[in-house]
A and B are shown apart, each in its own frame.
Chain A
Amino acid sequence: MSQISLSAKTSPLRRLSFSRVGRRLARFLSFFQGNPTGAIGGGIMAVVVVACLTAPWLTEFEPNKRVARPHVEPNAEHVLGTTRQGRDVYSQLLHGGRTSLAVAFIAGSIATVISILVGIAAGYYGGRVDQWLNFAMNVVLVFPQLPLLIVLAAFLGQVGPTVIALLIGITSWPWGARVIRSQTMAIRQKEFVLAAECMGESKLRILLIEILPNLTAIVAGSFVGVMMYALINEAGLEFLGLGDPTVVTWGTMLYWAQSSAALYTGGWWEMIVPAVTIAIVGGAMALINMSIDQISNPKLKTGPHLKRWRKLNKAIEARRQSGGGL
């Protein structure tokens, strides 16, 4: 008896929470429905991230151990073949992705934090502060970043993934900072900021509570942008042999493939697999970035909804011409 009453008590609660989750999920999915670029990009990223995180369950081979003869063609046992050193490419791809994505994530986070600090400070305070910060931004922006990174890495000796993430993070903030700065300048003039100032709110509160939430789309955009850039540059630096070749990442996979002349000796998969993966993940990030752009600036939208709008417009035009008016 008591059990029944208990279940009767809990079941509506449970149903409630389920329906709430369902509604959340539906809202989340409907967000992507009108946004095909975001859906495709987000989908690809989700699959890649999950595959990399669950790498130990998806493959039985150690990424850094010799498990077969060199350059075995892709087959049932070694889905993507083996490298010149007889390592499993599929396993390297999944395990290497962990490091590569982590580098991109860390670099993106560092750059985003710096760009928020610099951008908001310059945009909000204006005057002297803005002049100096803007100057610093322009100087960093005008220097070609990758050659700088290459030379730094060369002088520091073979750098590990952590150092690469740090280097990329502290050199790629100006793009985000510039956009955040100009947006902050625009928001600063809005009434709600003036109201908060009149009420004597502290500067920090105004910056964090009043202004920052309005920059979400821009911040997200620059975060994904830096992540994409970090992924590309990390792979580039490691391809040149400036990274630590003993760590498995997508970049060092390219490096080993290049130094073992995989393309010339017929082991094309050793080179093409990481290359295509980097291309796909970079592309997915670009798509996500495009959809963020479209959310923050609906003018940029193209595709189905615009077609619908055009059709409606044409109908109105036709009615007007037939003399029927609206």
Chain B
Amino acid sequence: MRYISSRLMFYFVAFLIAISFNFLLPRLMPGDPVDALFAGAAGRMDPSQMDAVRAMYGFSEGTLIEQYFKYVKSVFTGDLGPSILMYPTDVTTVLGFTFPWTLFLVGLGVVTAIGLGLVIGTIAAYRRGTWFASLFPPIAAVVSSMPAVVTALLLFYFFGLKLEWFPLSYAADQSLEPGWTWPYIKSIAHHAVLPLIVIIMVSLAQWVMTMRNAMINVLGEDIITMAEAKGLSPARIMLRYASRNAVLPVVTSVAMGLGFAVAGQIFIEIVFNYPGVGNTLLKAINARDYPLVQALLLLIVVFVLIGNFIADLTYLWLDPRLRKS
């Protein structure tokens, strides 16, 4: 319990730091951000809405400290004002219809990549010296070192544009009525194939390498010799003795992995014009919709923090030593 509460405390502080960063951003800008903002919104907003945005920015009356607390309050009440890009829709509403797509892609992609990475990493460590163990990790590392933009563009060009196997844009066929109908779900799956492949390609190597390196270290330990001396089957040793211990460093590297996946996701969404958070982020930047930009950044940070907390809980579940203390 103490472990969980100390982790929660850490994430809360990290969240506060993110909010403070967000608060400082428009103040770091050269020139007056509000003027720049209104230039971008030319004619689309009436004066009362401008005041609302001004308030949203924290550029209200009062000292910097008072402005800061007002801003923090607006974040916690979810009252982030209207978006300029999609005026008069609220920023919060925009987050509501873009986030599920990103969650779907990143969630499915990362979970698949971790699963594949664990299996491949285990095999690569356990069967060292075979062609698979010698070739696969370097290949995976090289593939993952390609920027997500590049991977996405190459797949987009060959499988989307040239071979026409997969659609080039949107999350589903625009002519279909959204709902839990078979054709719609099928269309979503068809649209998600290429983005998912990219996200797996980008993040797979990290899990493979972490698992493989941890596994190689565990295999040198006495517990393995002990298990072999007992005459247990190799499969049992590999799964119950080695993997369980080796998976712990993998869980601790989730922070980095999630960051990579989310970063990759932004480019994937832009290349495949997928209606998620990353795509909206770029549109918001180009439209100078700074309130939406800040809100999206905060949303991404919260998403990564929650992902990390889930990893912490998994760690707790895997490592009984932590539960006892």
Contact = CB atoms under 8 A, between A and B. Distances in A.
B142 A143 contact: no
A282 B205 CA distance: 13
Interface in A102-142: 135, 138-139, 141-142
A190 interface: no
Q: Give chain B's interface residue range (CB within 8 Å of chain A).
A: 35 or more
Given A135-B10, A147-B266, A263-B153, 6 more contacts: A145-B263, A156-B30, A231-B147, A236-B147, A275-B149, A287-B138
A300 B213 contact: yes
B146 A144 contact: no
Contact of B10 (A138, A154, A264): A138
A146 B263 contact: yes
By Cβ-Cβ distance, the 5 closest A-B pairs, closest first, are A146-B263, A286-B145, A283-B142, A282-B145, A232-B147
Nearest to A308: B129
Interface in A250-292: 254, 263-264, 268, 271-272, 275-276, 278-279, 282-283, 285-287, 289-290
B258 to A, nearest CB: 7
Given A145-B263, A146-B259, A147-B262, A154 B285 contact: yes
Most B-side CB within 10 Å, residue of A151, A276, A279: A151
B157 A263 contact: yes
* Most A CB within 10 A of own CB, among B150, B220, B286, B300: B150
A291 to B, nearest CB: 10
A43 interface: no
A156 B293 CA distance: 13
A37 interface: yes
B91 interface: no
B116 interface: no
A144 B281 contact: no
Contacts of A141: 255-256
Interface stretch (B21-29, B61-69, B189-197, B228-236): B21-29
A168 to B, nearest CB: 12
Contact of A275 (B137, B154, B255): B154
A236 B149 contact: yes
A175 interface: yes
B52 interface: no
A278 B149 CA distance: 10
A79 B133 CA distance: 39
A148 B297 contact: yes
Interface residues of A, number: 57
Contacts of B13: 139
A286 B205 CA distance: 10
A34 interface: no
A285 B213 CA distance: 19
B17 interface: yes
Interface-central residue, A37, A148, A155, A239, by most chain B CB under 10 Å: A155
A155 B281 contact: no
Contact of B304 (A144, A228, A242): A144
B141 interface: yes
Contacts of A272: 154, 157
B248 interface: no
A261 B295 CA distance: 30
A143 B19 CA distance: 12
A271 B153 contact: yes
Contact of A143 (B18, B205, B217): B18
A134 to B, nearest CB: 11
Contacts of B143: 283
A282 B153 contact: no
B243 interface: no
Contact of B149 (A139, A254, A300, A307): A254
Interface string A220-259: 0000000010011101100111100000000000100000
A156 B129 CA distance: 51
